[in-house]
Structure 1
Amino acid sequence: MRYSPRLLAGLATTVAAALALSACSGSSPSSSGKDAAKGYDPKATVEITWWTGQTTEAEQKAEQLAAEYHQLHPNVTVKTSAGATVTDDLLTKLSAGFTSGNYPDISYAFGSWAGELAESGRTQDLRDFVKESSFGWDEFPAAARETATATDGTVIGVPALVDNLALLYNKTLFDAAKLPYPTDDWTWEQYRAAAKKLNDPAKSIYGTAYSVSGSEDTTWHLWPLLWQNGGKILDGKKPAFNSDAGVKALETLRAMAVDDKSMYLDQTDEKYSPLFRSGRIGMIMSGPWELLELASSKTKYGVTQLPGTDGDHQTVSGPDLWVLYNHDDANRAGASRDFVKWLTSKETDAKWNLAIGNLPLRTTEKDTPEYANYAKQYPAGPTFVDNLANAKQARPTVSGYEEMSRNVGDAIAKVLQGKAKPKEALDEAAEKSAGVLEDN
């Protein structure tokens, strides 16, 4: 499973409306006020559906996992499907399924979808289930647990993948510029200074890069700087990202893009990683999904935590979820819970998530042989694992986040391209987002 949170946020309004309509159906299952698995018989013969949202290679692994679980529990059949051709389309497929009644027991979901799914009325409430001592809820990173939890305390799923943003740097370019490598103590001022020195227009080399596609990839890269400056995304249901802290955060990026011209502006989200690997970009803010490609390249690179503000090196995590749905069938609900508990256990997760380069879901996996092999294969992996401690806040699990993200992403893109000033752009994004958030 290979993940990057480059979401097609333009689908947000249509999908959110469809989810809202499906939640209004009086005959539809609802997560509110009841335990979907009450009366579950672990010996009952049952079939559950699992939309994995994965690529062909990972889908084959999912089928193997389903078969392995069936061997352990012969009365339970796990029917797997990708759910959609690409993961980005899965939310649209789910919303259509909620309306028709054809939706799975378990599905993969980007963390930024959590608010919309929680509002659908189709999810199970797992808050008591995850509190069971045998589940080990506290072994998951705090940001992942927070993402799975709606504003009313409902837990709609279990973390499927955890990540975070760190600073990746190209050692070859630093050596050529005779610059010392970044350290965990770096400030944003040092980052900017290094980007300016690395920049070499004559050789088409940029000091750093940023997405200006307006997608979630654009938006979530701003959140660490916002938090480090003491800001927050929302105040209740009201936008708060356009505070002085938000303006300062965006100005930090604007100075590199507009004043220094040391920032490569990626219109697609897809170009800056290959350019980094090919020695055209000196530094990028990115996540552990880069490690697989870097392992097969000849790039000499290093990883540190993000630059900080006054000693604060907060990062952002984009956890994804296995969301569990209610079909008013206690046996399907109970079997889906047991399967996800097994799938995300220390033993199973270490065998399949670590094997394909993802970070461990649970802290207890550090003691496994699989983690030792992972650290050998991906030497920078443990840096990302340790950096999870800097993911102290999560993107809000609220309906309307998707559209707000698109508005913020558009604002960032305008500023970095020199078409607007930080304050006016963020104020405009806040004004556009206010109604969407307050209506949910």
Structure 2
Amino acid sequence: MKVRLLATISSAALLLGACGGGGGSKTPAGKDAAEGYDPAAQVTITWWTGQTTEAEKTAEDLAAQYTKAHPNVTIKTSTGASTTDDLLTKLSAGFTGGSYPDVSYAYGSWAGELATSGKTQDLAKWVADPAFGWSEIPEAARDTATYEGKVIGVPALVDNLALIYNKQLFDDAGVAYPTDQWSWDDFRAAAKKLTNPAQNVYGSAYSVSGSEDTTWHLWPMLWQRGGKILDGRKPAFNSDAGVGALELLRAMAVDDKSLYLDQTDEKYGPLFNDGHVAMMMSGPWALLEIKDAGLEYGVAQLPGYNGDHQTVSGPDLWVLFDHGDANRAGASRDFIRWLTSKEIDAKWNLAIGNLPLRSSEQGTPEFAEYVKEYPGGQKFFDNLANAKQARPTLAGYEEMSRNVGDAISKVLQGAAKPKEALDEAAKKSAGALE
């Protein structure tokens, strides 16, 4: 959802790679992990929710609701780690020691690492059952859960990037509000007009921490220009499309000085809420804090290139793990089927301020309440249609993302040129992607 990648992931990814060559899946090759599942068997499953305190209470209530209807199932619920960002490290340690959960929350950018750990179930046939309604979940989210034809989990959360703007700052500067038809030139021109050094107001903001938050904001700009992240397993982001996208950001940051450069990923949101950033490319999770700040705001699609307004979705997953026990595998699947159903997801994601997982939820009372409580929620829901591509699900994505993030950060801080920086990132990433 918000910030998907911190420095701790680097070592965790190495641990996952190390343990992936060890025990592997506990279910023999060719056999489904849930084959022989007895729905009436007494079974205990462990669910790492990865949630904050408030959302964890909702998760516990839902687990209790499920077990009341299924008294033969016990669900041990916990956050799994002190923060969501620490879950990958905790999972890798669990793989080594054999103490990993049956179900865990995971950022979508971890999917390739988890898929190659050898510990996940393959859910491809299970989700293909028409009764599951797999097609109701956005395609980019389904693609993120899929590695080389193997489905390792079910999307837990869907989101996308759009342009959120502070109406008061636009009014004060006499600038017209963004529209869904804006180009990147429109965005740059408005950001320049909105920047007011005397009042510490920036037109927009960008993360230069080098994290996934830095990297994934570039991807929609790359796609809009017809570029690709990869060509097969070869880096392709350093194409003319990628260089052109990064050059626009460089011009805003270095020439116009209209971008606030956030070294941490954590400052630009609060600065927007405090009236010091006029526009930010962010997701529906930001609406919760904006609401608390009491801002008058609007949401528009991302600016486009030649009329293409593609966005990027950063779906998170419920990853299901294999313990060589058909009843644990089957029970975890049944629970996740229930949790991600139209009826229950409305009580889960919409209740904690997220977008619904399924298109069929748009007609629910919970969705009507959500868009009333969070103006802009409907725009983010509709913008899922612009999430036409997914970030690559492969084991080398994490390393590549760090290299690209470092390149972007150098360029926006005036320490490198777009072409040379992206070429260097591509060269560094090639080995990890083979």
TM range (shorter): over 0.9
Give me the TM-score of the superposition, normalised by structure 2: 0.98
Task: Determine whether 1:318 maps to 2:314.
Answer: yes
Query: What is the CA-CA distance between 1:31 and the residue it aligns to?
Result: 8.3
**8 Å contact 1:256–1:262 — kept in the other structure?**
yes
Is residue 222 of structure 2 the alignment partner of residue 226 of structure 1?
A: yes
Q: Provide, for residues 387-426 of structure 1, a one-character-per-residue CA deviation record: whole Å limited to 9, x for no partner.
A: 0000000000000111111110010000000000000000
Q: Distance in 2 between matches of 1:57 and 1:412?
A: 35
What does residue 373 of structure 1 align with? 369
Equivalent residues, number: 434
Matched residue type, 2:90: K
- Rounded to whole Å, the distance in 1 between the matches of 2:286 and 2:190 is 22
- Give 4+ residue runs of structure 1 displaced > 4 Å after superposition: none
Structure 1 partner of 2:3: 5
- SS of residue paired to 1:296: helix
Give the aligned partner of residue 347 of structure 2: 351
Any conservation in 1 of the 2:23–2:118 contact (CA below 8 Å)? no
Q: Cα deviation per residue 1:376-395 (whole Å; 9 max; x = unaligned)?
A: 11121000000000000000
Match of 2:333 in 1: 337
1:115 aligns with 2:87: no
Q: Flag structure 1 segments of 5+ consecutive residues without an equivalent.
A: none
1:247 alignment partner, one of 243, 247, 252:
243
- CA shift, 1:302, in A, is 0.5
What is the one-letter code of the residue matched to 2:124? R
TM-score (normalised: structure 1) = 0.97
| Alpha-carbon separation, structure 2, partners of 1:400 and 1:161 | 23
Matches of 1:408 and 1:319 in 2, distance apart?
20
Unaligned runs of 5+ in 2: none
Q: CA deviation at 1:204?
A: 0.9
Partner of residue 211, structure 1: 207
- Residue aligned with 1:102, SS: coil
2:419 aligns to what? 423
What residue identity is the alignment partner of 2:339? L
Distance 1:41 1:184, change over 3 A: same
1:56 pairs with 26, 32, 53, which one? 53
**Contact 2:24 2:119 (8 Å CA) reproduced:** no
Aligned to 1:298: 294
The match for 1:181 is 177
Instruction: Tell me what 2:275 maps to.
Output: 279
Aligned partner (choices 119, 136, 150) of residue 133 of structure 2: 136
Give the C-alpha shift of residue 27 in structure 1.
6.8
Does 2:233 match 1:237? yes
1:260 aligns with 2:245: no
| C-alpha contact 1:97 1:103 (8 A) present in aligned 2 | yes
1:99 maps to which of 82, 90, 96: 96
- Evaluate the alpha carbon distance shift between residue 180 and residue 119 of structure 1 in structure 2; reply closer, same or farther with a 3 A threshold: same
State the alpha-carbon separation in 1 of the partners of residues 21 and 209 from structure 2: 34
Verify: 1:45 aligned to 2:42, yes or no. Answer: yes
Compute the RMSD of aligned alpha carbons.
Answer: 1.1
Deviation at 1:30, TM superposition (A): 5.5
Q: Which residue of 2 aligns with 1:364?
A: 360
Structure 2 CA distance for partners of 1:6 and 1:26, relative to 1, 3 Å:
closer
2:383 maps to 1:387 = yes
Distance 2:294 2:280 in 1: 17
The partner residue of 1:79 within 62, 76, 79 is 76
